Amino acid sequence: MYLFSTWGKKESSRLQMALRSLATRKTLTLGLNSRRLIQSRALQTFSLPDLPYDYGALEPAISGEIMQLHHQKHHQTYITNYNKALEQLHEAIQKGDSSTVVKLQSAIKFNGGGHINHSIFWQNLSPIREGGGEPPKGSLGWVIDTNFGSLEALIQKINAEGAALQGSGWVWLGLDKELKKLVIETTANQDPLVTKGPHLVPLLGIDVWEHAYYLQYKNVRPDYLKNIWKVINWKYASEVYEKESA
């Protein structure tokens, strides 16, 4: 959840401010509207975060065409549907409509998960001239060598897991905060890493849904997995690791 507040887009934080001032105004008027007050204060809408690089900047590892579709269509759709589901959830809670509340859970998990996962993914990638592909230094580099033997061994393992995943999903390098070690995990569909363990923090996720690579690599997912490491942003993964293992 911390992701949304740290990356809250300009619009998102402006919206929040606007809602807060509206709420303040309403308290001054009428206590009877307290229900609507709660409603307007609680409901946050999400918006598409900008990519920190151009669509074409990750070529030839990932084509500009894929990046644009992936960001502007797929991720945007998750956000749109997530917002819609949250709004419906909000109404259902207010009305005490439990059956709708429960019915909405899968849409929230799917679309909310899609938003969470892709927001991380854009940070996991970086153009080569900005350090994409450079191996991790510092404590993350060291703990990878300790846990897996070498960076190459880690990559091989992640790629094997990613290639073997049936259907749609993600392959992750995560930190188990409780056990204090690195783990490789896969999740199905848009399930976030935390669904595999409440103490798991994602450092690096690779999208293995077909939409992430099909236009360029077609059915050869292993080639996509081999090439994506040229643009993996280890700096971000290191930052998260250092922060979460402090």
Binding residues for another protein (CB under 8 A): 69, 73-74, 77, 106, 110, 166-169, 188-190, 209-211, 214-215, 218-219
Integer CA distances (angstroms), 213 to 7, 84, 226, in order: 26, 28, 12
Eight-state DSSP code of residue 69: I
Shortest approach of another protein to residue 215 CB, angstroms?
7
Shortest approach of another protein to residue 190 CB, angstroms?
8
Alpha helices in 168-220 (DSSP H): 214-217
Sign of CA dihedral 18, 93, 74, 136: positive
Residue 127 vs 169, nearer CB to another protein: 169
Residue 178: both structure tokens together? 């409780």
Shortest approach of another protein to residue 107 CB, angstroms?
9
d(CA 224, CA 61): 8
Question: 227 pairs with which residues across the strands?
Answer: none
Shortest approach of another protein to residue 168 CB, angstroms?
4
Shortest approach of another protein to residue 223 CB, angstroms?
13
Query: Hunting for tokens 């849904």 — which residue is that?
Result: 209
Q: Quick one: CA torsion of 60, 163, 199, 236, rounded to 10 degrees?
A: -10
- The long-range contacts involving 33-36, CB below 8 angstroms and separated by at least 24 positions, are 35/94
- Cβ neighbours of residue 179 closer than 8 Å, sequence gap 6 or more: 199
Residue 4 vs 110, nearer CB to another protein: 110
Residue 99 vs 219, nearer CB to another protein: 219
Eight-state DSSP code of residue 180: T
145 is in an annotated binding site: no
Shortest approach of another protein to residue 225 CB, angstroms?
16
115 is in an annotated binding site: no
199 is in an annotated binding site: no
Identify the H or E element spanning 88. Answer: helix 76-95
Residue 233: both structure tokens together? 């942003």
d(CA 13, CA 5): 9
207 is in an annotated binding site: yes
Annotated binding site for Mn(2+): 70, 118, 207, 211
Annotated binding site: 70, 118, 207, 211
